[in-house]
Amino acid sequence: MRLKGADMVMECLLEQGVDTVFGYPGGTILEIYDSLYKYRDKIQSILTSHEQGASHAADGYAKSTGKVGVCMATSGPGATNLVTGIATAQMDSVPVVAITANVALPLLGKDSFQEIDIAGITMPITKHNFIVKKIEDLAPSIRKAFKIAREGRPGPVLVDITKDVTVGYGEYEREEINLNPNKPLSLDDAEKYRESLEKAVKLIEKSERPFIFAGGGIKASDASDELRIFAELIDAPVADSLMGKGGFDGNNKRYTGMLGMHGTKASNLGVSRCDLLVAIGTRFSDRVIGNASTFASKANIIHIDIDEAEINKNVYADLGITGDAKYILGKLNLMLKKQSHSDWMEEIECLKNKYPMKYNKDVLTGPYVIEKIEECFGHDTIICTEVGQHQMWAAQYFHYKNPKQFITSGGLGTMGYGLGASIGAKYGNPKSRVINIAGDGCFRMNMNELATASRYNIPIIQVVLNNKVLGMVRQWQTFFYNGRYSDTVLDDQVDFCKVAEGLGCKAVRVTKKDEVEKALLEAASYNGPFVIECMIQEDDKVFPMVAPGKSLDDTFDQDDI
């Protein structure tokens, strides 16, 4: 079948099961947007307020569905506006395909209007990228892009298409695509794991104080059930990373909370005391391990990860197993006998009871709002966040049960991420309630996406915890810079409620604890985007905390100060 290049793009998207794209049109991508119009009954196109919002929406869609998210932009500044979102997806291993159009082939390399080498710019922050200069390369490149984005350790792929390819004609034949490329391993593949799995079993069986650390790979590999069974079999407590939230039920008796800089004392002290740490699907970020030389210093470490480059990168592992977490845990569960570590589990329970999460109950605070959200809406709610204090409170005080329930920017820490991501999550999960939690500093970054929410009447709830400062930066300035609050005070004349109303949303301001529940229930019953601004104190802190470069043993909280 002979098709125009732009129509070929649409057919390739349909092959991949794409139902929604997020983007912003412009000169070089006009042919593709014209085709989107023709295919509008099969693929919905969401016009965001800014290309960065489109990239974050694709990210949120992917994280909340497990499918590949798609964003589009024109050449030059349109393409460069995607860069932050692409880097965000790369750091968090999110399958996103970004499609950009560039100037026509004869104009490449001549500093033409809105020409940019977007493939060169994004090379360090993508799994792979393509420059399509010939119509016969178009369909194969798009198919490869989706395959690369979703297989192995997921990540973003960019496809840049010259304008002459979008207007040209070529032969197209539809292909049936396998949308689940991580196939079960063959017997030969399984054999290569035998020695490593047997070593793991021996380390586990001789351990008296095992501890499990679950990262985002648990969610990416859909290994939550295998993790739960594994924890029962080896009779161990479980901590998670920020990106691992929801991979293990936050209400499970074995759960000790998050590990790291703002992890619980039970998790941090537990890892410091254990004799075996089984780490699954984690890159051992500096925010998790603190001082690498003292991290889990009493323990043998088993590190399971699909990316071989992560083994021994930040933390030395006594046993590294490169493979899919679901497969590896499934095999271990078949090989292991039930272990019992009652004394160790009792010690962990004592730590949980001795060092509970706590905050000032006398005034309106971020943790109170988070707990109220959980109380009002339960666990069918998808929680998105921006980055900062509110993000840590959302990680600490909401008990996540489902692996696709918590959507945040972990590795890159992108302020302005959450609102776009919440729009993507809502399109991916139209029957789920979606709430984005922001601080006032982050909300300023991309609050223009409220216009997107109102344009399509997307019923998301935007909660802004407003302390009129850059809260997390101010916290560091308090502890490490002798209270020199350089450029972190945001006490100006901006009225977020009026801004929200001006962008077509409904908004209320909350100043007291007893107003929170009423506002949340009103927002839930409103058929459209709703903003709740909660006024909290400027010097509220996130506790516990580990100072940069310190050991997890040095975790401190308000009582220690």
Catalytic (active-site) positions = 51, 113-114, 163, 472
Which ranges of 221-295 would DSSP assign to H, the alpha helix?
A: 224-234, 265-273, 286-289
CB half-sphere exposure, 453, CA atoms < 13 A: 36
Tell me how far apart the alpha carbons of residues 101 and 124 are, in angstroms, rounded to a whole number: 20
Tell me how far apart the alpha carbons of residues 10 and 19 are, in angstroms, rounded to a whole number: 10
Those residues with Cβ within 8 angstroms of residue 241's Cβ, 6 or more apart along the chain or in another chain: 213, 214, 215, 216, 258, 259, 260, 282, 285, 288, 410
Q: What length does the chain have?
A: 561
Give the chain's end-to-end CA distance (angstroms, integer): 72
Contact 532, 546 (CB under 8 A): no
Those residues with Cβ within 8 angstroms of residue 187's Cβ, 6 or more apart along the chain or in another chain: none
Tell me how far apart the alpha carbons of residues 505 and 449 are, in angstroms, rounded to a whole number: 11
Peptide bond into 544 cis (omega under 30): yes
Those residues with Cβ within 8 angstroms of residue 348's Cβ, 6 or more apart along the chain or in another chain: 237, 256, 266, 270
- Of the candidates 147, 555, 152, the one whose C-alpha atom is nearest the C-alpha of residue 324 is 152
DSSP run (H or E) holding 434:
strand 434-439
Contact 38, 7 (CB under 8 A): yes
- Of the candidates 349, 202, 339, 186, the one whose C-alpha atom is nearest the C-alpha of residue 266 is 349
Q: Cα 69–73–77 angle (5° rounding)?
A: 135
Tell me how far apart the alpha carbons of residues 351 and 314 are, in angstroms, rounded to a whole number: 27
> Strand (E) positions, 255-389?
255-258, 276-280, 300-305, 319-322, 382-385
Tell me how far apart the alpha carbons of residues 492 and 254 are, in angstroms, rounded to a whole number: 45
- Of the candidates 264, 220, 214, the one whose C-alpha atom is nearest the C-alpha of residue 236 is 214
DSSP run (H or E) holding 474:
helix 471-480
- Of the candidates 121, 107, 113, the one whose C-alpha atom is nearest the C-alpha of residue 158 is 121
Tell me how far apart the alpha carbons of residues 419 and 442 are, in angstroms, rounded to a whole number: 10
Residue 322: burial class (beta carbons within 10 Å; 0-12, 13-18, 19+):
middle
317: its two tokens? 């592992």
